[in-house]
Structure 1
Amino acid sequence: MKLLKFLAAAVVLAATALPASAQQFRLLSSWDQNYAYNPYLLDPFVKGVEEASKGRMKIAVNGPETVAPFEQLEPAGSGVFDFLFTAGAYHFGTTPIMTVAEALEGDLEKVRESGVFDLFDKHYQQFGLKLVMLPITPEGAYHIITRQPVTQEGDLRGRKIRGSLTYSGIVKMLGGALTVLPASEIYTGLEKGVVDGAGWPIIGALEYRWYEVAKYLLRPGFGVNYEPVFMNLNSWNKLSGEDQKLLMEVARKVEDSWFRDAPKVWEAEEKELLAKGMQITKMGEKQQEMLRQAWAEGLWGEGMKKNAKATQELLDFARSKGLAK
């Protein structure tokens, strides 16, 4: 059934192909066109490739309406699509590596110098994918929005918090209960009290209008965000050395600008949310001291449950390079 859906998607894409004068590539995104990170990651990459190639390389973007986010790794690896813009949590069922990567230290230059990019690249080649772009942020890329402020103890004891497995360590440390809900159900879940709060990247609440149903921003933020762009390995191998270099150079520019600008983008959205009536609620000092450790241990723990060998190899490598404790 999945194969039929992928083939149907390919037929639709072929019918809407770009002019034959350009190299035509198909990119599959885990998010729709309104995703808050698109202007800083996806759009500059797509436009940058076209501009750097003087229009010779064009990328058509297809979103989750074409293939659901949790099913995207296979069609990208099999060549139905040439690129995949995603997050590790969407293919955790296949491999936990890009999810647990967010436990690493949030220092772009240190990550590059460590060689961990090559480790990720080698790992994903077994799924038919080449890692092209690895945008990361400084610490503070995630947060929790809540209907009520923290308890007197500075935690979320007894409250139901929406989140993926990524948030398990943080929610547990804060005394909450992790509840899995798709993004499309967060608004109604908060509105009706199905959940008392929701974990999400630190920008996005404005776009989804969650400020209408949740009035508090839990601070500080936590964690590092990785949202990679992969290319189908066969498509990559068909490129000339010049075009491979072009893609990587565009990717490095996007990575640089995002790492530099991310905190300013976060600050701007927080300012707008406060103007719309949201308030800051802060974790207790004890919880803040445990924050970094809880985030990392939660991610490593989930990775070990899924694939202990690959997770341990990444942890050992990261420790040897000073990216993890």
Structure 2
Amino acid sequence: ELESIFAKDGIKFLGWSAELPPICLVGPKIFRTFDDIKGLKVRAPGTAAKVIKSWGGTGVSIPASESYMALQRGVVDAAYTTIATVTSTRLWEVTKAITFGRVGGSPTPVCMNLKKWQSLPPDVQKAFEKVNREMPPWAYQHARAFVQKTEDFLKTKFKEHYKWSPEEAEKWSEPSRGYIWKPAVQKFGKPAQDLWDKILAVAKETAEARKQGKAPKFFE
């Protein structure tokens, strides 16, 4: 179904890679409750500024590459970003504490120009399809290892660190639910709603399987 949706825009959908690294908050203190973020200016990418607003802060849309200077100069008080970005931009040099979340960015689709795909010989297409079946579990395992290694590293760099419990992560997620999918459904109607319902069904099934130990957790 996704393949046909992408094809309408001239895109060949090949498959999925792993989720982006989990989000975190860096700032002058640990963020345990909404009171901790209330009134603060927080760097956030694009529409994620709406998430910050739902928590009581003020989202400031700033590119990740400018986070260091923004924190150093006091343009923002904190930053909402990923552990990978924190590592590459060395944000521990300009802020004090890191709060690790338990939510990833988003699944990463692997795509190709449809006309280019159609121009490939059958044997090359088969090679792509084979690799695309093998890639998700490979990327999953490597991403899990990366998350653990990176979080351990960052704990040694920040003066304070804290990781939300599953219950805390659920509490922080609640205010911002729907800020992406609701506008999409309003714009595209029933096809978007049907797709979203399927995503929720799979998510519910996976969550139940994880509770029973039948499916691994991406972020521990």
Deviation per CA, 1:164-192, whole angstroms, max 9, x where unpaired?
A: 34535642343212111112211111111
Determine what percentage of the aligned residue pairs are the same residue: 24
When the two chains are superposed, the root-mean-square deviation of aligned CA atoms in Å is 3.0
Aligned to 2:181, the other structure's residue is in SS state helix
Q: Mark the CA change 1:278 to 1:236 in structure 2 (over 3 Å): closer, same or farther.
A: farther
Is residue 137 from structure 1 mapped to residue 7 from structure 2 by the alignment?
Answer: no
2: CA distance, partners of 1:287 / 1:169: 19
- Give the paired residue count: 205
Structure 1 residues 1-325: aligned runs within 5 Å? 119-137=1-19, 141-150=22-31, 155-168=36-49, 170-281=51-162, 287-294=168-175, 296-304=177-185, 307-319=188-200, 321-323=201-203
Q: Mark the CA change 1:304 to 1:314 in structure 2 (over 3 Å): closer, same or farther.
A: same
Return 5+ residue gaps in structure 2 as ranges: 206-220
Displacement of 1:193 in angstroms is 1.5
Displacement of 1:137 in angstroms is 3.1
**More displaced 10-residue stretch of structure 1: 279-288 or 121-130:** 279-288
Aligned to 1:222, the other structure's residue is in SS state coil
Conserved? CA contact 1:211–1:277, under 8 Å: yes
- As a proportion of its length, which structure holds more helix? 2
Aligned to 1:203, the other structure's residue is in SS state helix
Conserved? CA contact 1:141–1:225, under 8 Å: no
Displacement of 1:233 in angstroms is 0.3
Higher relative contact order (CA 8 A, sep 6+): 2
Specify the code of the residue in structure 2 equivalent to 1:124.
Answer: F
What is the TM-score with the length of structure 1 in the denominator? Answer: 0.54
Deviation per CA, 1:51-108, whole angstroms, max 9, x where unpaired?
A: xxxxxxxxxxxxxxxxxxxxxxxxxxxxxxxxxxxxxxxxxxxxxxxxxxxxxxxxxx
Conserved? CA contact 1:155–1:174, under 8 Å: no
Specify the code of the residue in structure 2 equivalent to 1:317.
Answer: K
Return 5+ residue gaps in structure 1 as ranges: 1-118
2: CA distance, partners of 1:203 / 1:246: 31
Specify the code of the residue in structure 2 equivalent to 1:123.
Answer: I
